[in-house]
Structure 1
Amino acid sequence: MKSIRLSFLLFFLFLGNIQAQVLTSPGQTLQMKFALTEAGEPLYLVNLNNQPVVLPSKLGFDLKNDDIDLLDGFQITKTENSTFDETWTPVWGEESQIRNHYNELMVELTQTKTGRKMVIRFRAFDEGLGFRYEFPLQEDMGYFVVKEEKTQFAMTGDHVAFWIPGDYDTQEYDFTESKLSEIRGLMKTAITPNASQTPFSDTGVQTSLIMKSADGLYINLHEAALIDYPAMHLELDDEQMIFTSHLTPDAIGDKGYLYTPAQTPWRTIIAGKKAGNILASRITYNLNEPSKIEDPSWIKPMKYVGVWWEMITGKSSWSYTNDYKAIKLGETDYSKASPNGTHGATTENVKKYIDFAAKHGFDGVLVEGWNVGWEDWFGNSKDYVFDFLTPYPDFDLKGISAYAKEKGVQMIMHHETSSSVRNYERHMDEAYQLMKDYGYPAVKSGYVGDMLPRGEYHYSQWLVNHYQYAIEKAAEYQIMVNAHEAVRPTGVGRTWPNLIANESARGTEYQAFGGSKANHVTILPFTRQIGGPMDYTPGVFEMDVFNGSHVNSTLANQLALYVTMYSPLQMAADFPENYDRFPDAFQFIKDVALDWEKSLYLEAEPGYFLTIARKAKGTGEWFVGNVNGMDRRTGEVKFDFLESGKTYIAEIYGDKTDAHFKTNPQAYEIRKVAVDSNSVLKQFSAPGGGYAIRIRAAGKEELKGLKKLK
């Protein structure tokens, strides 16, 4: 292994700056070198502040039914350098302005034997690199099928990684912390049951992957702008510590179908000496195209409650009756069926949630199980499973819409497809029009179960195109999309900001399915959220849930998630009666903002702790969230981000000293102190705990009697 890497390094050393193409970032912090071997193989390497991040790594493709692959035999026939600098305004986000500043190198390669041209475009940012393949319109290359993309990421050592198994159908795994060399031995225990799953290798892992080197460098590997292409996984050669891209296949094993002109998604490498550097990077968004929605004024962040958690925990059901084993839409007469008495989406029950939302200032109410077909929706390989139009007899679609409008609350539609995507596309226009007719501004779509057409996978090119079609079709009807079980996001929310959230990871629902690791939420921002916001559905106050499972979190940790798990769509997931039990803690959920002017990453160590401060857009208030791992810890927050010369009130929601996610999760305390830009807070976090802080301006009268935090 060492000899192979040494030969690569010597190769680049001898090339120097004469034959190698060198690209540096605007601030000169990142350097990328590109060259061809004697065999005409493309190679690149990446350094950050003169520290190796990616060792010399090969680039190219295996093609199907082609004697000559796009791996070697290339000559450099053209290069172009350029620079770009803009500041753009996101529709929603972790900050109100994003700078997009990079230097670019375009390398045109021509394969000597075939005359085929392939362009590799590199963009160097100060904190990382993005690159993609492009195939210009050309006589020698029209249609072609990708057997495998062979992009390499050669690591400098046996890094510590937080990973989930490579899988064509699910990201819903707990993360495993290990060295790269240990992945193979831990894979079997890392693969836990799911409704649909297809793991493919003993050393295959998913992106976004976060790693830490022995000398303290944090590295993230992912992709951006996943459009008309299969999702990328990473296959590890655990002897040489080299990752190679592994694309999701289709039903017959092919990876990608392309025709010129074409381009791949961007492959991204983000690196930093601090973990917070990874979180602060906007490379993923910046590598996506600007918004294609000319007037996005209808896209608005939402805070919502809903008829969901009671179903997840088994208190109520999605289905209306137990009379039928099989349902044929349009033929089954529900008026003759006996109600099962557990159906959650009844008019009476939904009105209770609307009343609760109106009373406490929530924007919306989500209802699952409102439409016919839930009696045999899962596991039957059923094509015509839902019509997304017909309500159950006990759900008054028109009446609910009018009642919500009267109360000033918007309804959120639910479209579970049961992974029958052809059926969803069959009904999509009518379903979205129904939403418009009844005033539903957002839809939560779902893709539970094995894919139909049979043999397809959730992350293949065909399905990636379906998800994109759903987003763009929704935009025609001015509908926001929150997709569950879809492909993990890659910054496409910049181009289509009506993609307001995704699940695409192990969310709160798994706390009712046996629980997630207590440090799970300290990892997700470094992995899943690199590509976009997550509908994690936080806010559970009763940890011993209806079905006997236990939520591995303290109540204070649940509050902190509204700050640390960024999303412009945030749910208060618990039963209304549990919020009524803890009205003082519930106040933070009501107060916390959804859209941000600025975000600061104060303390960060994936798997162990994370503290984020965010300034709310429009109000000037600050919110701080801390989530903690498995060990009790006292963190430190410096309030030097506050405006100098002003005194504020800090409302601190924290764990009591005897709190513990397993044994005492509801032990919290709330206190108010006066703070200014010189104040420093030392705050305790329990195992699986954390704290949440609201910081607001206050007058002299309100500040009287408050202790000043020094």
Structure 2
Amino acid sequence: MTSKMYILLFAFLSILGVNAQQITSPNGNISLEFSLSSNGEPTYKINYKSKSIIKTSKLGLTLKNADNLKQGFIETGSEETSFDETWKPVWGEESDIRNNYNELLVNLEQKATERIMNIRFRVYNEGVGFRYEFPEQPNLVYFVIEEENTQFALTGDHTAFWIPGDYDSQEYDYTESKLSEISGLFDSAVTPNASQRQFSKTGVQTALMMKTADNLYINIHEAALINYACMHLNLDDENMVFESWLTPDAQGNKGHMQAPCVTPWRTVMVSDDARDILASRITYNLNEPCVIEDTSWIKPVKYIGVWWEMITGKSSWAYTDDLPSVQLGVTDFEDVKPNGKHAANTAHVKEYIDFAAKHGFDAVLVEGWNEGWEDWFGQSKDYVFDFVTPYPDFDVEDIENYAKSKGVKMIMHHETSGSTRNYERHMDKAYQFMKDHGYDAVKSGYVGNILPRGEFHYSQWVNNHYLYAVQKAADYEIMVNAHEAVRPTGIARTYPNLIGNESARGTEFQAFGGSKPNHVTILPFTRLLGGPMDYTPGVFEMDISKLNPDNNSHVNSTIANQLALYVTMYSPLQMAADLPENYNRFLDAFQFIKDVPVDWEKSVYLEAEPGSYITIARKDKHSNNWFVGHVNGKDARKSEISFDFLEKGKKYIATIYADAKDANYKTNPQAYTIKKMKVNSQSKLSQVSVEGGGYAISIIED
């Protein structure tokens, strides 16, 4: 093309109001194009290897009682930069994480209002992140978001792995369907929960995993969710366009902002290999570096707990059944009759401490130790727990001394019952109580509707509460495992004392009617992209009625699948969830749980297909040993892997824990085989796993 033709093309595009800029990933596979439409609407589109992934999509926000930030913009400048660093996480799936991207910052001014809105794009080899930025300025200081209008215009009716959009709950089984089928399947995808609020029959949650007809894998999510409402997606299923849908507060507003400020990053990952989605660290990389100077007190933890027996109904959190209600500071539990089912009693907890010490576990969690469980749920009760007053049968000092004598740490439990105001009032006292009695980690819970009344679990105000709890915990050198909180979005890079979250349908739901047998083949593609999950694996007794005759639930998994979860469901906080007596029945299989680490130097993603199977190999950070986990989904299959991830020239002993030939997740889940074999970097393995099954391998240097 001649220079004259370039000039004519530029003039033609200018007449159309198009001012396109393009930026590509470091490897050149992904390209992002930004442009302003003829009426000044910001738009973007994404291509992967010359294929359209996101068609032209609009950007902007609707403001309350103010002109919208959606059109009428002119570009006042732009800047392109590149960045490449390697940083070391405190814990993680690898000891080094590369953060390599090309960046485009576009400066925009809304001509009629003279308000400034910048958009920053970062393009990685496996995806794109972008956010809105509002610098300090005279014409935009305080503003209220009515809705964020970020679009994701898709190229077809993709297959999606989705859960219903909900302001209060993420604890759903995943539905696999075409995008066009979401509205028809929505009602059946909604299952009961302690607190929930859907907003649309085409609303879904992020991280949303999709697969195109031509076998491309696309994931839409967000990163660095700070001082902002959680983003859901609402689908225009006629045009296949998702638009952001923020969680409102009690007044219906979706964000109270003050410039200078930024939004969370919106992310789009794409690859023709599903393993690249699992290996991506975009979500972490888009967060700020660690702000805790001394992280030596943050340590990965493998634990057991007084928990599963209450979840199954075998035991009780409550101390008594004789009171219609309790009031802290008024009810005298010394004068009431114990129910005989209260699990958090001193003698029983000591049994768990003994088991932990015998088998090398770091810690023991105890739930139901503190007063208030008799009417903790569903009463919209503000002063529900004080987090420092034990029941009469739980001796805090005795437990502290006994655990210390056995070399075992205790994990505190703080159930807030959704009363965030009450928790904040008591937080300093509760954390100091923990430090006074040797507790370095807390599991917090937010079951039920949020107080203040009308707030949702994922609104801006409540999200700020979750972060406040983590920040305050860091002041006391306490690690946090938050349940029912907003899904993680990589914030653990900045605050690595956030060592776990639930924020999805965990193992407990296996005792509440069960989860789909392929559930664990989807979670690493969705929930785990933002951070580790306290999934609480390791259940060996699948028939819940054997623990509680009144509970006919069944754990839809084989023992081999449960073992594999310690590798495939990454977390620096891993629980052996079952009762000690069940582990004593299967000590040879329990050996894998004892051996598997919780902190890794390197991870290799061997096989992956969302909803079907995942196989991951990880190297221990503190030895030359490797561990492999394979979880299988809907159909029996033969897994074929190579051991070429092992160091060349070295020999290893592999112990393979696998489904037996007659294993069946429903009728014969405890059928497994264990075999040993010598392996090296040239070895291969062909291993059959059943539906809902899998295998786990420990590979010890010979």
Please classify the TM superposition score into its range, dividing by the shorter chain length: over 0.9
- Which residue type is aligned with residue 19 of structure 1? N
1:52-63 mapped onto 2 (5 Å cutoff): 52-63=52-63
Task: Indicate the residue corresponding to 1:366 in structure 2.
Answer: 365
The answer on whether the counterparts of 2:18 and 2:36 sit within 8 Å (CA) in structure 1 is no
Aligned partner of 1:689 among 688, 693, 696: 693
The answer on whether the counterparts of 2:509 and 2:515 sit within 8 Å (CA) in structure 1 is yes
Deviations 1:271-317, CA, capped at 9 Å, x for gaps: 11011010111000000000000010000000000000000000100
Residues 1:511 and 2:510 are matched in the alignment:
yes
- Which residue type is aligned with residue 270 of structure 1? M
1:167-182 mapped onto 2 (5 Å cutoff): 167-182=166-181
* Post-superposition offset of 1:18: 8.7
* Post-superposition offset of 1:14: 6.1
1:156-175 mapped onto 2 (5 Å cutoff): 156-175=155-174
Residues 1:544 and 2:548 are matched in the alignment:
no
Task: Indicate the residue corresponding to 1:530 in structure 2.
Answer: 529
* Post-superposition offset of 1:221: 0.4
The answer on whether the counterparts of 2:387 and 2:426 sit within 8 Å (CA) in structure 1 is yes
Deviations 1:93-124, CA, capped at 9 Å, x for gaps: 00000000111111010001100000000011
- Which residue type is aligned with residue 383 of structure 1? D
Task: Indicate the residue corresponding to 1:248 in structure 2.
Answer: 247
Task: Indicate the residue corresponding to 2:411 in structure 1.
Answer: 412
Task: Indicate the residue corresponding to 1:663 in structure 2.
Answer: 667
Residues 1:673 and 2:677 are matched in the alignment:
yes
Task: Indicate the residue corresponding to 2:573 in structure 1.
Answer: 569
- Segments of structure 1 that go 5 or more residues without pairing to the other structure are 1-9, 699-710
- Which residue type is aligned with residue 642 of structure 1? L
Residues of 2 paired with 1:197 and 1:61: CA distance?
Answer: 26
Residues of 1 paired with 2:214 and 2:25: CA distance?
Answer: 22
Deviations 1:164-205, CA, capped at 9 Å, x for gaps: 000000000000000000000000000000000001100000
Aligned partner of 1:653 among 646, 650, 657: 657
Task: Indicate the residue corresponding to 1:601 in structure 2.
Answer: 605
Residues of 2 paired with 1:675 and 1:657: CA distance?
Answer: 23
Task: Indicate the residue corresponding to 1:109 in structure 2.
Answer: 108
* Post-superposition offset of 1:19: 2.8
Task: Indicate the residue corresponding to 1:702 in structure 2.
Answer: none
- Segments of structure 2 that go 5 or more residues without pairing to the other structure are 1-8
* Post-superposition offset of 1:594: 0.5
Residues of 2 paired with 1:276 and 1:51: CA distance?
Answer: 19
- Which residue type is aligned with residue 27 of structure 1? N
1:211-222 mapped onto 2 (5 Å cutoff): 211-222=210-221
Query: What secondary structure sits across from 1:38 in the alignment?
Result: coil
Task: Indicate the residue corresponding to 2:22 in structure 1.
Answer: 22
The answer on whether the counterparts of 2:17 and 2:39 sit within 8 Å (CA) in structure 1 is no
Task: Indicate the residue corresponding to 2:457 in structure 1.
Answer: 458
1:219-368 mapped onto 2 (5 Å cutoff): 219-368=218-367
* Post-superposition offset of 1:551: 0.2
Residues 1:387 and 2:376 are matched in the alignment:
no
Residues of 1 paired with 2:100 and 2:17: CA distance?
Answer: 24
* Post-superposition offset of 1:25: 1.4
Residues 1:64 and 2:64 are matched in the alignment:
yes
Residues of 2 paired with 1:501 and 1:104: CA distance?
Answer: 31
In the alignment of these two chains, the number of paired residues is 688
Residues of 2 paired with 1:264 and 1:133: CA distance?
Answer: 6
Deviations 1:359-408, CA, capped at 9 Å, x for gaps: 00000000000000000100000000000000000000011001000000
Residues of 1 paired with 2:320 and 2:635: CA distance?
Answer: 46
Residues of 2 paired with 1:525 and 1:246: CA distance?
Answer: 23
* Post-superposition offset of 1:548: 2.2
Aligned residues: percent identity? 68
Residues of 1 paired with 2:381 and 2:75: CA distance?
Answer: 52
- Which residue type is aligned with residue 287 of structure 1? L
Deviations 1:344-370, CA, capped at 9 Å, x for gaps: 100000000000000000000000000
Aligned partner of 1:641 among 639, 645, 648: 645
Query: What secondary structure sits across from 1:366 in the alignment?
Result: strand
Residues of 2 paired with 1:19 and 1:146: CA distance?
Answer: 27
Residues of 2 paired with 1:515 and 1:473: CA distance?
Answer: 36
Residues 1:520 and 2:522 are matched in the alignment:
no
Deviations 1:505-564, CA, capped at 9 Å, x for gaps: 000000000000000000000000000000000000000012221100000000000000
Residues of 2 paired with 1:43 and 1:260: CA distance?
Answer: 23
Task: Indicate the residue corresponding to 1:613 in structure 2.
Answer: 617
Query: What secondary structure sits across from 1:285 in the alignment?
Result: helix
- Which residue type is aligned with residue 30 of structure 2? L
Deviations 1:417-459, CA, capped at 9 Å, x for gaps: 0000000000000000000000101000000001111110000
Task: Indicate the residue corresponding to 2:133 in structure 1.
Answer: 134
Task: Indicate the residue corresponding to 2:73 in structure 1.
Answer: 74
Task: Indicate the residue corresponding to 2:587 in structure 1.
Answer: 583
Query: What secondary structure sits across from 1:493 in the alignment?
Result: helix
Deviations 1:487-516, CA, capped at 9 Å, x for gaps: 000000000000000000000000000000
After TM superposition, the score normalised by the length of structure 2 is 0.97
Q: CA RMSD in A?
A: 1.4
Residues of 2 paired with 1:620 and 1:416: CA distance?
Answer: 40
- Which residue type is aligned with residue 599 of structure 1? S
Query: What secondary structure sits across from 1:469 in the alignment?
Result: helix
* Post-superposition offset of 1:83: 1.0
After TM superposition, the score normalised by the length of structure 1 is 0.96
The answer on whether the counterparts of 2:92 and 2:599 sit within 8 Å (CA) in structure 1 is yes
Residues of 2 paired with 1:18 and 1:63: CA distance?
Answer: 25
Deviations 1:559-591, CA, capped at 9 Å, x for gaps: 000000000000000000000000000000000
Task: Indicate the residue corresponding to 1:434 in structure 2.
Answer: 433
Query: What secondary structure sits across from 1:19 in the alignment?
Result: coil
Residues of 1 paired with 2:552 and 2:682: CA distance?
Answer: 47
Query: What secondary structure sits across from 1:120 in the alignment?
Result: strand
- Which residue type is aligned with residue 678 of structure 1? Q
Residues of 2 paired with 1:299 and 1:569: CA distance?
Answer: 11
